[in-house]
Amino acid sequence: MADKETRVATAPGRTPTNLTQGSQTKAGIGESTLRPDGTLKVTGEFAYSSDMWHEDMLWGYTLRSTTAHAEIRSIDTSEALATSGVYAVLTYDDLPTDVKNYGLEIQDTPVLAHGKVRHHGEPVALVAADHPETARRAAAKIKIDYAELPVVTDEASATAEGAPLVHENRTDHHIGHVPHPNIVHRQPIIRGDAAEAAKKADVIVSGEYVFGMQDQAFLGPESGLAVPGEDGGVDLYVATQWLHSDLRQIAPVLGLPEEKVRMTLSGVGGAFGGREDLSMQIHACLLALRTGKPVKIVYNRFESFFGHVHRHPAKLWYEHGATKDGKLTHLKCRIVLDGGAYASASPAVVGNASSLAVGPYVVDDVDIEAIALYSNNPPCGAMRGFGAVQACFAYEAQMDKVAKKLGMDPVEFRQLNAMEQGTIMPTGQPVDSPAPVAELLRRVKAMPLPPEQQWLTAGAGADVRALPGGLSNTTHGEGVVRGVGYAVGIKNVGFSEGFDDYSTARVRMEVVGGVPVATVHTAMAEVGQGGVTVHAQIARTELGVQQVTIQPADTRVGSAGSTSASRQTYVTGGAVKNACEHVREQVLDIGRRKFGTYHPAWATAELLLEGGKVVTDGGEVLAHLADVLEDEAVDLELEWRHRPTEPFDLHTGQGNGHVQYSFAAHRAVVEVDTELGLVKVIELACAQDVGKALNPLSVVGQIQGGTTQGLGVAVMEEIIVDPKTAKVRNPSFTDYLIPTILDTPTIPVDVLELADEHAPYGLRGIGEAPTLSSTPAVLAAIRNATGLELNKTPVRPEHLTGT
Amino acid sequence: MRVTFTVNGRRQEADDVWEGESLLYVLRERMGLPGSKNACEQGECGSCTVRLDGVPVCSCLVAAGQVEGREVVTVEGLADFARQRAEGGCADGTCGTGLDEAKGWQARPAAPQSGDSAPHEGLSPIQQAFIDAGAVQCGFCTPGLLVAADELLERNDSPSDADIREALSGNLCRCTGYEKILDAVRLAAARGENRTAGQGA
């Protein structure tokens, strides 16, 4: 770990800050404590990564490929370099070491393209200049001679005989287990005998489903500032989801030891998985080290669509059987995820899609296969829901189809087959904490429905804004039909398959100005989810102090792991709790040493820290913390791990691969203008089990946000890639639509708290589950309204009008 | 070129501005006012919303030269603007943050917060309501939403939900699902009415 003396770079004019919060009366766990960064964020003072600024900084810009697959014959940078105001132009040849690729699991992603480009928008060259427009104009003068190569864009083209290999000479650890080099990873899950079980089925229902490519579309663009240090190192202020993962990938490319790459999290404007992979981090460092000046890179929205991985688009084939009394007999399914040109998180997404393919249902006999392709499409990786989203879309459509064929109510059919605590997953793993699937469905169904179609009674007085088409005044209710649909989903929490998913927290307790104060230092990326709020709540609860300071996340403290997989409150929250418990014990030891002889309770009673005092479990005050600590400080940095998992067997998929499961159910109410194919989502109700709501206000906010991203993919969100050229057609907020406040309905939330005895405070990761079931619920409601089959996201007007 | 205009009530000058520079760039990079955010830079997301002569605009779509001689209010000036509006208006152009104050901007720790919903010193009602309602998550959309919502409440102190949705339909938010943003605007409107009622109006 680097100490302060090695930080010889000059600090930028704007830097992330300590967040101090004291004197809240409702401030422990279980309270809706307000955000410590809230005031900064509403006054415009909070320093996001794109706000970083240094006195003599340059602007970096990335030149990206205009084609999806091509050999690079030559690159001529001379004219760009000669442009006034340009300080550096870098290509692959300027990389300082033999390490020229990076990657989360497989190091297959070039820092800058060498030899060829494999997808539209791949970084090819970098420019640093004194004004962003100078950098852009200089980049436009770089001449690249591309020799176009044929593209592979789907399973058929990728595995056809003689298909071009996206990565020739693969050597990664999956290559021995995949049927074709253009397949990144394959995971079968075989349990029981699906073929034999199918013979018991009275009905068999199959379907083919297509899930479009979704973008995280976080609002804060990829950005940051690299400041070169006098020691040859670099300080990087950046928005990311996992500082130490970035560090591990950045340092080798720069040829620097990790302690010379000092990373500090700057304000993050949302992430949703899109910041798990590197974007501009290495590029900014390379330019800063080359020019000797601070370099800031800020992507515009166009570039952002090329600068991060997307959600895997998927094709899914499902077959379910059921007996006439409504019990599922078997599942056969095959899931093909398109991972695009580079591996990113594809292997883990395959693991999730396959192991969660059955959904939250009891099916003893399954035959599941999931694969991820290499193709020349944009790279895909982590996004909220991570492989479970695509599967949920398909299995929930199947549940409605089976129920319909049996003539059963779709909710009752789901409840009849719902998993519960003790159910064995298709991976053989027992579900050993509450799994209230039937209860969540019951709750979401029991919520009052929104009022009936108002124009049926209000006539000409109806508010046209509430109709599909809204202010466009396209209908006054004629041709508009209402539908209701349900869905439920299961998501794993944390990193699975044997990953060492630990976190680290440093907690310090001392007396400042006569008041006991706790300081919490972790490398957790606060991306908007509210971790900083929760950490302060945990410290207050465990240490009995009011004032807590959260230090900026950086690499001077050990890894916190990623802010993803719904894991951060579980794992880093667990680490903060653990560190606080150890600090508390040391504080009590000091107290025993100083005051133990004065009161027998120091030796015999269960002691707590509450309200700045040491108290017995009976409530007797033994000492003030200020008197116990005086000028002593207790300062501990500790790692914390949840219980271990194990990899899935590569042939059968068996293994205790997951830490914990998270469940949410949705009911969607939609209205559809059947003449124009316009959909208005009227209400999207959610019920979710969160184990323990550490901060109820934040919990509800996360559920509503996740629900809305699922709504987006149901009716509007899709990155459209030309199937012939693999070029992206809509890299802008004009053409890639995310829900506005007019598209988003009211989202009533019913929070259930069934504690998981294995988790800190009994909590259950919450961020992702609501994204799963929201999409299929909306689709089910549209099907219910229109009677159409609808097997693709997003639903577009032409799917509803048959045009 | 040189552009002279009023930002948050004070006259400011920006030199060496390129013809193609947006108002957003000049505010963020030349005036040290990064509160207006750069999320799409094509007028689709509303994160850079400011008031230009009172009208909410996407500052990314306004050429810096267009604001010559005009008045701009950004999120940094929102609290002063709201306070002075409440005290009788900003017609003389004296609302807002001074140039030196603006240049001296730096991130600093949040003031200690009390757990109740009592307004904090220095925040406008809509800013306080966003905090209290949980409408701030990553916060990147927040400045633009605040400027738009404040303008809505200025002309309509008791908006219906449909009014709020219409007024904020140009501001994208990716985190919250908008429900708590609606709550925040409702809260600010309700508190505004309460204040009037409390004064016997």
Q: Look at B174 and A39 and tell me if their CB atoms are within 8 Å.
A: no
- How many angstroms separate the CA of residue A680 from the nearest CA in chain B? 14
For residue A711, with 0-12 CB atoms within 10 Å meaning exposed, 13-18 middle and 19 or more buried, which class applies?
Answer: buried
Same domain (yes/no): A582, A679: no
Same domain (yes/no): A536, A488: no
Residue A158, classed as helix, strand or coil, is: helix
**Helix, strand, coil tally for chain B in percent (to 5):** 40, 10, 50
Structural domains of chain B in order of their starting residue, each with its CATH number: 3-74 (3.10.20.30), 125-199 (1.10.150.120)
Q: What type of residue sits at position A759?
A: A
The answer as to whether A202 is a domain residue is no
Distance CA A242, CA A564 (A): 9
CA A505 to chain centre: 22
Range of the domain at A739: 433-493+658-801
> Residue B39: its chain A contacts at CB < 8 A?
219-221, 269, 301
Question: How many domains are contained in chain A?
Answer: 3
Quick check: A509 and A545 in contact, CB under 8 A?
Answer: yes
Q: Look at B136 and A35 and tell me if their CB atoms are within 8 Å.
A: yes
The answer as to whether A24 is a domain residue is no
A231 — pLDDT class (breaks 50, 70, 90) = very high
Instruction: Indicate if the pLDDT at residue B180 is higher than 90.
Output: yes
Nearest CA in chain B to A707: B177
Taking only the tens place, the pLDDT of each residue in A325-372 is 999 999 999 999 999 999 999 999 999 999 999 999 999 999 999 999
| Angle at A781 (CA atoms; ends A779, A784), nearest 5 degrees | 110
Q: Look at B113 and A471 and tell me if their CB atoms are within 8 Å.
A: no
- Across chain A, mean pLDDT equals 96
Nearest CA in chain B to A134: B18
What separation in angstroms does the CA of B168 have from each of A678, A722, B132, B153, B164?
Answer: 21, 33, 19, 11, 6
Taking only the tens place, the pLDDT of each residue in A705-748 is 999 999 999 999 999 999 999 999 999 999 999 999 999 999 99
- How many angstroms separate the CA of residue B10 from the nearest CA in chain A? 18
Please name the helix (run of DSSP H) or strand (run of DSSP E) that holds residue B41, with its range, or none.
Answer: none
**Domain stop point among A613, A641, A669:** A641
Instruction: Indicate if the pLDDT at residue A456 is higher than 90.
Output: no
Name all contacts of A323-328 with Cβ < 8 Å and 24+ positions apart.
A323/A200, A323/A201, A323/A202, A324/A202, A324/A203, A324/A406, A326/A403, A326/A406, A326/A408, A326/A412, A326/A413, A326/A416, A326/A417, A327/A416, A327/A417, A328/A361, A328/A362, A328/A363, A328/A402, A328/A417
Same domain (yes/no): A769, A626: no
Q: What type of residue sits at position A561?
A: G
Q: What is the pLDDT of residue A453?
A: 79
Q: How many CB atoms lie within 10 A of CB A405?
A: 15
Q: Among candidates B91, B72, B85, B62, which has minimal Cα distance to B31?
A: B72
Distance CA A160, CA A434 (A): 46
Distance CA B193, CA B201 (A): 9
Q: Look at B123 and A42 and tell me if their CB atoms are within 8 Å.
A: yes
Q: What is the pLDDT of residue A176?
A: 94
The count of C-alpha atoms lying within 13 angstroms of the C-alpha of A793, restricted to the half-sphere facing its C-beta, is: 35
Task: List Cβ neighbours of A508 (8 Å cut-off, separation of 6 or more).
Answer: A518, A519, A521, A583, A633, A634, A635, A636
Assigned token pair, A464: 């046209």
The answer as to whether A341 is a domain residue is no
Assigned token pair, A596: 């133990």
| Angle at A528 (CA atoms; ends A526, A534), nearest 5 degrees | 65
How many residues belong to chain A? 803
Q: Look at A21 and B137 and tell me if their CB atoms are within 8 Å.
A: no
Distance CA A663, CA A691 (A): 10
Q: Phi then psi for A663, rounded to 5 degrees?
A: -130, 140
Distance CA A653, CA A370 (A): 11
| Angle at A65 (CA atoms; ends A61, A69), nearest 5 degrees | 155
Task: List Cβ neighbours of A89 (8 Å cut-off, separation of 6 or more).
Answer: A77, A80, A81, A125, A126, A127, A128, A138, A142
What separation in angstroms does the CA of A352 have from each of A38, A94, A309, A644?
Answer: 35, 39, 17, 17
Same domain (yes/no): A594, A469: no
Same domain (yes/no): A140, A234: yes
Same domain (yes/no): A636, A668: no
Quick check: B142 and A270 in contact, CB under 8 A?
Answer: no
Nearest CA in chain A to B135: A701
Q: Look at B139 and A51 and tell me if their CB atoms are within 8 Å.
A: no
Q: Among candidates A353, A365, A351, which has minimal Cα distance to A321?
A: A365
Taking only the tens place, the pLDDT of each residue in B23-55 is 999 999 999 999 999 999 999 999 999 999 999
Q: Look at A47 and B34 and tell me if their CB atoms are within 8 Å.
A: yes
Same domain (yes/no): A637, A776: no
Same domain (yes/no): A488, A516: no
Please name the helix (run of DSSP H) or strand (run of DSSP E) that holds residue A657, with its range, or none.
Answer: none
For residue A610, with 0-12 CB atoms within 10 Å meaning exposed, 13-18 middle and 19 or more buried, which class applies?
Answer: middle
Residue pointed to by tokens 């949410």: A664
The answer as to whether A17 is a domain residue is no
Q: Phi then psi for A472, rounded to 5 degrees?
A: -65, -15
- How many angstroms separate the CA of residue B198 from the nearest CA in chain A? 26
Quick check: A356 and A388 in contact, CB under 8 A?
Answer: yes
Q: What is the pLDDT of residue A247?
A: 98
A457 — pLDDT class (breaks 50, 70, 90) = confident
Taking only the tens place, the pLDDT of each residue in A4-42 is 455 567 888 888 888 987 666 668 999 999 999 999 999
A129 — pLDDT class (breaks 50, 70, 90) = very high
Same domain (yes/no): A559, A621: yes
Q: Phi then psi for A581, rounded to 5 degrees?
A: -65, -40
Nearest CA in chain A to B35: A44
Quick check: A503 and A574 in contact, CB under 8 A?
Answer: yes
Of the partner residues A13, A528, A733, the one whose CB lies closest to the CB of residue B40: A733
End-to-end CA distance of chain B: 50
Q: Phi then psi for A68, rounded to 5 degrees?
A: -90, -30
**Residue A674's domain is classified under what CATH number?**
3.30.365.10
The answer as to whether A724 is a domain residue is yes
Q: Phi then psi for A179, rounded to 5 degrees?
A: -75, -15
Assigned token pair, A357: 């393919």
Q: What percent of chain A has pLDDT over 90?
A: 93
Taking only the tens place, the pLDDT of each residue in A63-89 is 999 999 999 999 999 999 999 999 999
The answer as to whether A480 is a domain residue is yes
Taking only the tens place, the pLDDT of each residue in A380-418 is 999 999 999 999 999 999 999 999 999 999 999 999 999
Q: Phi then psi for A391, rounded to 5 degrees?
A: -65, -40
Check residues B100 and A446 and name the one with the higher pLDDT: A446
Q: What is the pLDDT of residue B145?
A: 98
Q: What type of residue sits at position A177?
A: H
Please give, one letter per residue, the 3-state secondary structure of A54-101: CCCCEEEEEEECCCCCEEEEEEECHHHHCCCCEEEEECHHHCCCCCCE
Mutate to test the interface with A, among B7, B106, B179 (most CBs of A within 10 A): B179
Q: What type of residue sits at position A604?
A: T
Distance CA B31, CA A158 (A): 52
Q: Phi then psi for A799, rounded to 5 degrees?
A: -70, -25
Task: List Cβ neighbours of A536 (8 Å cut-off, separation of 6 or more).
Answer: A19, A21, A27, A33, A36, A520, A548, A550
Residue A685, classed as helix, strand or coil, is: strand
Instruction: Indicate if the pLDDT at residue B193 is higher than 60.
Output: no
Taking only the tens place, the pLDDT of each residue in A470-525 is 888 888 888 999 999 999 999 999 999 999 999 999 999 999 999 999 999 999 99
Assigned token pair, B33: 């006012």
Q: What is the pLDDT of residue B112?
A: 38
Q: What is the pLDDT of residue B122?
A: 87
Taking only the tens place, the pLDDT of each residue in A639-661 is 999 999 999 999 999 999 999 99
Taking only the tens place, the pLDDT of each residue in A540-562 is 999 999 999 999 999 999 999 99
Quick check: A772 and A664 in contact, CB under 8 A?
Answer: yes
Distance CA A487, CA A37 (A): 35
The answer as to whether A766 is a domain residue is yes
Q: What type of residue sits at position B196?
A: T
Same domain (yes/no): A489, A510: no
**Residue A244's domain is classified under what CATH number?**
3.90.1170.50
Q: What is the pLDDT of residue B91?
A: 47
Quick check: A146 and A70 in contact, CB under 8 A?
Answer: yes
Same domain (yes/no): A113, A260: yes
Instruction: Indicate if the pLDDT at residue B103 is higher than 60.
Output: no
Q: How many CB atoms lie within 10 A of CB A722?
A: 14
Dihedral sign for Cα A132, A135, A138, A143, please: negative
Q: What is the pLDDT of residue A12?
A: 87
Strand partners, B72: B7, B52
ipTM, 2 dp: 0.96
Question: Which of the 8 DSSP states describes residue B176?
Answer: S
**Domain stop point among A587, A611, A641:** A641
Q: What mean pLDDT is predicted for residues B104-128?
A: 56
End-to-end CA distance of chain A: 62
The answer as to whether A182 is a domain residue is no
Quick check: B47 and A740 in contact, CB under 8 A?
Answer: no
Same domain (yes/no): A591, A711: no
> Residue B115: its chain A contacts at CB < 8 A?
23-27, 31, 33-34
Nearest CA in chain A to B27: A51
Q: What is the pLDDT of residue B66?
A: 97
Please name the helix (run of DSSP H) or strand (run of DSSP E) that holds residue A703, with its range, or none.
Answer: helix A696-715
